[in-house]
Every structure is written in C-alpha cells, then in structure tokens.
Amino acid sequence: MLIAIDAGNSTIAFGIYPEPAKREPLHVAKLAMEPPPTAEQCEKVLGRLLHRAMTGGHADWSPVSALGNRRATDLDVIISSVVPRLNRALIASARSVSPHRPLVVSHRTTAGLRFEVPKPAQVGSDRIANAVAASSAFRGPVAVADCGTATTITVVGPRGQFLGGAIMPGLSLMMDSLHRSAARLPRVSLAEPRDVLGRETAASIASGVINGTAGAIEFILRGIEKELGFRVQLVLTGGHCGLLSPVMGRRHRVMPSLTFEGLRLIYLRNAHPVS
C-alpha cells in the first residue's frame, strides 16, 4: 500500500493506492493550509483514509482503531512538498503509520528525468511529479499547465528532458489581488464566464482572469515552441483546470490526478524507501 502526499500552497492532498502498481488511488482527501496544519491533524486525516481503505467505510472510525494497528511493513509513503516549513510535520505523520522513512521528492530523486536547467534544486517537487507523469502518458514532447495557487507551465522534451517552463499567478491570486488593490472591485467567486464580453463587474473580472489565463498559457506555449523548434502536447491539471479547459482554444487533455500519478511512478522507480 502506498500513501502519496502532495503539499501545495493552498491544500495538502492525501491519496492512498492499495496497490501501487495500479494507476488510480482508491481514496483521496484534502486538508486546507490555512491555518497551517499540525502533524496531529495530518495523522487524523491519514487515519480516516486508511480506515476507509481497509474497511470500505463500513466500520466506526476512531484514532486508536485507525492508527493503532496500521503501522505495517507493507505501507510506504511518498511526499511532494513545496512548503518547506511543513516538511517536519508531514514526515512525522508519515512515520506514525509506516515503519519506512518516507520518500521526499526532490531533484535528486530517481525519477527518469534529465534536468536541462541551470538550477535543478529550484524546481518544485510538484513540477517534477507532473513532468514524470506527463512524459509517461504522452509520446513526444509535452507541456503541463498546473492550475493551482500559481499557474505553472512545465515542458518535457522528447527524451524525458526537463526543459523549464513559466510561472504566473493562479486564478484565485488574481481575483484576490484585484479585490485588495482596486477599491471599487468586489471579491467575486470563481465561475466559468458565459461570455468573453463581460457586461457587469463580476462577469468582467471572471472573463479577464479565466480567459486571460487561458490566453496566456496558449501564448506562452507558442513562444516556447518557436524557441524549441518543435510542437508540444498539452495537459491541464490542478484545482482550477476544470474552469480553464472549456475556454482553451488549443487541443489538450485534462488529468486532475496528474501529480498523484507522478508520485506513484516515482515511488515505483525507487522501489521501497530506505528504513
């Protein structure tokens, strides 16, 4: 059994693979990052997930029943974290359910990528996982647009080369920035715009943020392709990919669990973490 933990700037996502050789996690849960969660809170989420995975959710849950007998030798943990201050809590929660040291993804982890960037240590572990999953799922060059707190574009070459990409504010950051910095602009909820031409303020903001981000992704990819001299396929992932997909003019695939898939593949390529 494998527990995959993806700690981003807005949420921590936990996924359980009862059989890591199979693709989809059976159970997934998320924990908000504000306020910053403690190791005990992470352990409780892991306990509930393990309980559901092992009982099908039919028995009553308690911390003792969920965690007390779950520290089994066949349970491993892999962690992707872009929030270094949380790493200690994540590792502690992993050790509470598994006797193995968790595999914490970095540029040094065996992942099947060749880094062709000057500073691989600065590449986020989520982008590494996305690159691994995308290069496995697609033949030829591929770009991943991960639409979360930030919108990141990651490009992988035809031979598994991590080539770089682009980073810009995510949809929620744009919305919040407009509300904070412009006195007359309200805070609006994210929703797919009905039209590009907004006819009142909320619709105009939604159109600008969502259509603008989709256009930026397409514009950036055209520039990247011109610089590289070849076309790339596109996959969308992240919490906001469902809002961007309908307004994208470029052919693409939506893979919401891409980061989990990358963590699963990295785990398999590293066998069991060292105890």
pLDDT attached to residue 66: 47
Residues 124 and 254 in one domain: yes
CB 258 within 8 Å of CB 237: yes
Tens digits of residue pLDDT in 190-225: 888 889 999 999 999 999 999 999 999 999 999 999
8-state DSSP, 240: T
Q: In this structure, what token pair is assigned to residue 24? A: 């989809």
Separation between Cα atoms, residue 235 and residue 40, nearest integer Å = 35
Name the amino acid, one letter, at 72.
A
Residues 127 and 34 in one domain: no
Residue 257: which of 239, 269, 244, 270 has the closest Cα? Answer: 239
Q: In this structure, is residue 253 part of a structural domain? A: yes
Residues 130 and 252 in one domain: yes
Q: In this structure, what token pair is assigned to residue 269? A: 């390529």
- A 10 A CB-CB count for 80 gives 28
Share of residues in the chain with pLDDT > 70 (%): 91
* Domain endpoint, select from 104, 124, 140: 104
Which whole number is the average pLDDT over 162-185? 93
CB 146 within 8 Å of CB 154: yes
Residues 120 and 233 in one domain: yes
Separation between Cα atoms, residue 224 and residue 166, nearest integer Å = 10
Domain containing residue 76: CATH number: 3.30.420.40
Residue 232: which of 160, 142, 161 has the closest Cα? Answer: 142
CB 177 within 8 Å of CB 169: yes
Q: In this structure, is residue 273 part of a structural domain? A: no
Q: In this structure, is residue 145 part of a structural domain? A: yes
Q: In this structure, is residue 199 part of a structural domain? A: yes
244 SS3 class: helix
Residues 129 and 242 in one domain: yes
Residues 147 and 38 in one domain: no
Q: How many domains is the chain partitioned into structurally?
A: 2
Name the amino acid, one letter, at 268.
L
pLDDT attached to residue 63: 45
Which whole number is the average pLDDT over 253-257? 95
Which whole number is the average pLDDT over 75-95? 94
Residues 191 and 238 in one domain: yes
Residues 11 and 68 in one domain: yes
Q: In this structure, is residue 267 part of a structural domain? A: no
Residues 46 and 121 in one domain: no
Q: In this structure, is residue 266 part of a structural domain? A: no
Residues 194 and 240 in one domain: yes
Residue 109: which of 120, 93, 96 has the closest Cα? Answer: 120
**Strand locations in the chain, DSSP E?**
2-7, 11-17, 27-32, 76-81, 103-104, 114-115, 142-147, 150-156, 161-169, 233-237, 253-254
Identify any residues that bridge with 223 across adjacent strands, giving them in sequence order: none
Set 6, 76, 126, 146: catalytic member: 126
8-state DSSP, 99: S
8-state DSSP, 257: T
Tens digits of residue pLDDT in 8-37: 999 999 999 988 998 776 688 999 988 888
Q: Sheet with 27-32: list strands edge to edge.
A: 27-32, 11-17, 2-7, 76-81, 103-104
* Domain endpoint, select from 55, 79, 104: 104
Separation between Cα atoms, residue 136 and residue 68, nearest integer Å = 37
Omega before 35 within 30 of 0, i.e. cis: yes
90 SS3 class: helix
pLDDT attached to residue 189: 84
Tens digits of residue pLDDT in 130-151: 999 999 999 899 999 999 999 9
Residues 94 and 141 in one domain: no
Q: In this structure, is residue 109 part of a structural domain? A: no
pLDDT attached to residue 72: 55
pLDDT attached to residue 62: 46
Tens digits of residue pLDDT in 47-59: 888 888 877 654 4
Residues 89 and 158 in one domain: no
For 217, the domain range is: 114-261
Q: In this structure, is residue 51 part of a structural domain? A: yes
pTM (predicted TM-score): 0.90
* Domain endpoint, select from 60, 77, 104: 104
Assess whether 126 carries a catalytic annotation. yes
pLDDT at 258 exceeding the cut of 60:
yes
